[in-house]
Amino acid sequence: MAAQVRPRLTVLSGPSGVGKSTVVAHMRKVHPEVWLSVSATTRKPRPGERDGVQYFFVSDEEFDKLIANGELLEWAEFAGNRYGTPRGPVLERLDRGEPVLLEIDLQGARLVRESMPEAQLVFLAPPSWEELVRRLTGRGTESPEVIERRLTVAKVELAAESEFDVTLVNTSVEDVARELLALMEVV
């Protein structure tokens, strides 16, 4: 019997506001078998978000324990909150041969590259800087200070594109979702 080839972990990253969540939501509607890792965060839930669905909402103390116990594949601090990927569920699904997608920030993608060099890193780029600014300011959920911080971070994140294996430009959610599925060999 031939050994089953373990699928590669696919990491989707890119600047804040580029549309990662929208692309992933569309992709999972079309292909629900793609498992998206749910991150833990110390951030408070936004309206409509549910614990265990969008994120596992945890206290600072709980997050400290996850780090101390080595239970996070990666973690980062962003806009005053911490986010991390629980290691166990990702490895379990990869071992079962299921395609796994992480939607994380640049810092997290770099940490995954260190701990799992075989992972496929995909950079989601905006069609233009102007479009990214429009998306970040159009959310209406953050203060001007937070928006300014996100724009500063976005410039740094855009400069890291060359660190990724593949770049997809988010001109169309449907097209990017299809390209991402093809990269994950789910089509």
Question: pLDDT class for 3, splitting at 50, 70, 90?
Answer: very low
> What residues contact residue 167 under an 8 Å CB cut-off, 6+ apart?
122, 123, 124, 125, 161
Structural domains of the chain ordered from first start: 9-183 (3.40.50.300)
In three state form, how does the secondary structure of 50-117 look?
Answer: CECCCEEECCHHHHHHHHHCCCEEEEEEECCEEEEEEHHHHHHHHHCCCCEEEECCHHHHHHHHHHCC
With tokens 């203060």, the residue in question is: 143
The predicted model scores a pTM of 0.82
Q: What is the pLDDT of residue 87?
A: 92
SS3 12: strand
